[in-house]
Amino acid sequence: MSVAQSDGRDFLSNLGRVYSLYTLSFLGCVVLLAILEQVGMPKPWIGYAFVALTIGVYAAIGILSRTAEVSEYYVAGRKVPALYNGMATAADWMSAASFIGMAGSLYLLGYNGLAFILGWTGGFVLVATLIAPFLRKFGAYTIPDFFSFRYGGKVARTLAIIVLMSCSFTYVVAQIVGTGLIGARLLNMDYVVAVYVGLVGILVCSMLGGMRAVTWTQVAQYIVLIIAYLIPVVILSAQKYGIPIPQLTYGDVLSQIAAKEAALRAAGDVVVPAVGYINPSFGNPALSGAALWVEYVNYFGLILCLMVGTASLPHVLMRFFTTPSVREARKSVGWSLLFIFILYFTAPAYAAFAKMEVYNNVVGQNLATLFSAENLSWIRSYGRVGLIQICGVDATTLEAVRTACARVMQHTGDVASFNPTIQLRHFGIQADAIVISTPEIAGLPYVIAGLVAAGGLAAALSTADGLLLAMANALSHDVYYKMIDQNASTEKRLVVARVLLIIVAIAAAYVASFRPADIVAMVAWAFSLAAAGFFPALILGVWWKKATTQGAIWGIVVGFGITLYYLVGTRYYAPAFYETWKGLSIATAAQYQAYEAAKAAYAASATAANWAALDRTAQVVANWWGVRGISSGLFGLPLGFLVIWAVSKFTKEPSQEMQNFIDEIRRPKGAVVMQEKGAAVGH
């Protein structure tokens, strides 16, 4: 698959044949590994084979796509056809949060989890209609380029860089956490080691060839991830209903789940979804008045933040800089939606089948069976990385879990022989484990589990590649080249870009090694930051000619600043935030009492345990009008629009030349407006 400059044209004209051959070869390797498993190949070897095969292919594409041309490095020479840009955008977009976390969120939150699907999918409608074609017509390399040109000067560019770095860094940490979790399971290695192993794979794909290497790697990664996502549920659907279309059969699975939960309740079990991001009682008729409105605000607020955040993420928007024309950019948005829809349409089915398998194969088993049966060894594997708990402790060893269960169930007899039946309320599984563990929960061959893990790895790597490239480009192009040394040679600019790429990647891996939060939560933070920081100035920059420089600057400062303050304050400084803003807090009387009790306990004895209890209870009551941190963009987004409008009304209008420029980028036809030195000419 050579894409070197000398034969780049041949490669582009044979893309269909190249990727068809690649897909068939990958399927052939999966079949071969399945056969080897049946004849006795050890499971760890299958995991190693998947990692070596996929990362080896991605690395080969990255090396063969290496380039020393600026336009190839930043925008893939603006030669990527719409279909393949759609696949690359889908891979760029469908991160570990989509692949690993979405079905898990649906598993735990039920219908409430649909907020993620609605928000993330709806965002592409905004991208297609309001932003992507016009940024492509503008013709820059990065989003800060647009801000600098539209609003003038270094202040707007600097603010855009700050927003870009904040949301992209948060997002990429989540992806590296995903690679660490998958690597720990697939390669049976320590989580921290797996984080840095995944980092090597990310760097090999993106460092040498920039956007060109990332583009062709992401196309290959999309093929792997979509195959990996579909195969397990297709098999389960065919096994249980004889129809290999899970989207048509999971309605019956939901009916079975409802009947199973009714039976569990009748038997005295507690069927309550784990704590999620949206209150699981949303839609509960027992809720009324202000409490119900708070749930509505949080549910629809999250959808809005995810939609607007999708339309503001730099690593997604910069993908539309790579098409040959504005028309191709519009078409590629449509292809992206189709490719994303395939996975999102399958996620609810995945969650339903996974829950049914847990009810059938885990709930009701006794403790000794869970730890001794070979087909349940996945419990210990995921317990070691903290993704599965039984009786409140990680499911690492039978002895540890037995002791915890004896305490929880108030067993007074001999603990060493205690062998209780595990009920649903005793079993905890995190959202990040649902997708990658379902094949093992369902008893499918291990090669399927390896395939799913390889798909999750592809999703995390593809998004991490795009995010790291966006950050490195912002630092090398917008900071170094535009603000420090505008006479830097092409070679020097690319060296700076690659060095910065490595530095940012290592910093992100270091943060990810601490697992600061679960994947979906971190990704949602990035969306709120991007929505509040970019969207108002981006939209008004294209669609309102009278938006001024001062208006944009203050809109970004206020919108992004208030969102960041709320997010950090409610998550990491919850006691201080609550004490400052307690007049705006909404919580139940029991939650306030719990906080006051924890506060009194900490005042009496300032131990680490008491501080942890105080912080935990404070995070519940620290809010403005009940809005959760995951929807913090709900404050910054409208404020950003309002401030830009108000300040623009009282400051000097943009020049006529600038207003003509805005008219021009909204015109579909014609050449790109801005041409960089050494840039490829587009239409």
CATH number for the domain spanning 349: value is: 1.20.1730.10
221 and 353 housed in the same domain: yes
**Side chain identity at residue 465, one-letter code:** D
CA distance 541 to 160: 13
pLDDT of residue 207: 65
β-strand 393-394 against 427-429: which pairing, if any? unpaired
CB 366 within 8 A of CB 419: yes
138 and 188 housed in the same domain: yes
377 and 460 housed in the same domain: no
pLDDT of residue 276: 38
pLDDT at 3 over 70: no
334 and 370 housed in the same domain: no
pLDDT (mean) for 478-489? 80
pLDDT of residue 641: 96
The last residue of a domain, from among 476, 505, 524: 524
Place of tokens 């995070």: 619
pLDDT of residue 512: 82
In a domain, 570, yes or no: no
382 and 466 housed in the same domain: no
323 and 409 housed in the same domain: no
258 and 166 housed in the same domain: yes
414 and 452 housed in the same domain: no
CA distance 288 to 511: 41
Quote the number of domains for the chain.
2
pLDDT at 683 over 50: no
Q: Which segment of 291-300, 383-392, 663-672 scores lowest on mean pLDDT?
A: 663-672
pLDDT digits (tens, 9 = 90+) for 556-576: 999 999 999 999 899 889 999
Distances (CA, A) of 583 to 345, 576, 594: 42, 13, 17
pLDDT at 171 over 60: yes
pLDDT of residue 375: 65
pLDDT (mean) for 640-664? 92
pLDDT at 534 over 80: yes
pLDDT of residue 271: 60
382 and 515 housed in the same domain: no
CA distance 551 to 555: 6
204 and 171 housed in the same domain: yes
CA distance 332 to 339: 10
Is residue 274 very low, low, confident or very high in pLDDT (cuts 50, 70, 90)? Answer: very low
Tokens standing for residue 532: 């509040």
Give the residue, 207 or 264, on which the prediction is more confident. Answer: 264
Give the residue, 201 or 577, on which the prediction is more confident. Answer: 577
pLDDT at 298 over 90: no
In a domain, 610, yes or no: no
In a domain, 156, yes or no: yes
Highest mean pLDDT among 166-175, 262-271, 654-663: 654-663
Highest mean pLDDT among 281-295, 496-510, 662-676: 496-510
pLDDT of residue 430: 75
pLDDT at 285 over 70: no
Tokens standing for residue 79: 């030669």
In a domain, 393, yes or no: yes
CA distance 389 to 184: 17
Give the residue, 223 or 174, on which the prediction is more confident. Answer: 223
SS3 213: helix
631: Cα separation from own chain's centroid: 15
In a domain, 60, yes or no: yes
106 and 240 housed in the same domain: yes
Q: Which segment of 161-165, 384-388, 535-539, 628-632 scores lowest on mean pLDDT?
A: 384-388
pLDDT of residue 208: 64
pLDDT (mean) for 109-134? 79
Is residue 532 very low, low, confident or very high in pLDDT (cuts 50, 70, 90)? Answer: very high
CB 654 within 8 A of CB 552: no
SS3 473: helix
Tokens standing for residue 357: 């398998």
In a domain, 605, yes or no: no
107 and 203 housed in the same domain: yes
Give the residue, 243 or 124, on which the prediction is more confident. Answer: 243
SS3 58: helix
Q: What is the pTM of this model?
A: 0.81
CA distance 536 to 542: 10
In a domain, 6, yes or no: no
Per DSSP, helices labelled H in 387-545 are 398-408, 434-441, 446-473, 490-512, 519-543
In a domain, 556, yes or no: no
Residues spanned by the domain of 375: 366-422
Name beta bridge partners: 428. Answer: 389
Tokens standing for residue 310: 């999708």
CA distance 511 to 585: 31
SS3 631: helix
CA distance 516 to 53: 30
Tokens standing for residue 36: 């080897």
The residues, any chain, with a CB within 8 Å of residue 49's CB and separated by 6 or more, are 33, 450
pLDDT of residue 436: 78
Phi (first) and psi of residue 94, to 5 degrees: -80, 90
pLDDT at 310 over 80: yes
pLDDT at 4 over 50: no
Average pLDDT taken over every residue of the chain: 82
CA quadruple 61, 66, 72, 77: dihedral sign: negative
157: Cα separation from own chain's centroid: 26
pLDDT at 438 over 50: yes
The last residue of a domain, from among 524, 556, 578: 524
CA quadruple 464, 470, 471, 472: dihedral sign: positive
CB atoms within 10 A of CB 153: 11
Is residue 123 very low, low, confident or very high in pLDDT (cuts 50, 70, 90)? Answer: confident
SS3 624: strand
CB 197 within 8 A of CB 62: no
Give the residue, 495 or 616, on which the prediction is more confident. Answer: 616
Q: In what order do the strands lie in the sheet with 427-429?
A: 393-394, 388-390, 427-429
- The radius of gyration of the chain from alpha carbons, rounded to an integer in Å, stands at 26
Is residue 209 very low, low, confident or very high in pLDDT (cuts 50, 70, 90)? Answer: low
Give the residue, 351 or 34, on which the prediction is more confident. Answer: 34
The residues, any chain, with a CB within 8 Å of residue 455's CB and separated by 6 or more, are 99, 224, 225, 226, 227, 228, 229
The last residue of a domain, from among 502, 524, 546: 524
**Side chain identity at residue 471, one-letter code:** M
pLDDT (mean) for 507-521? 75
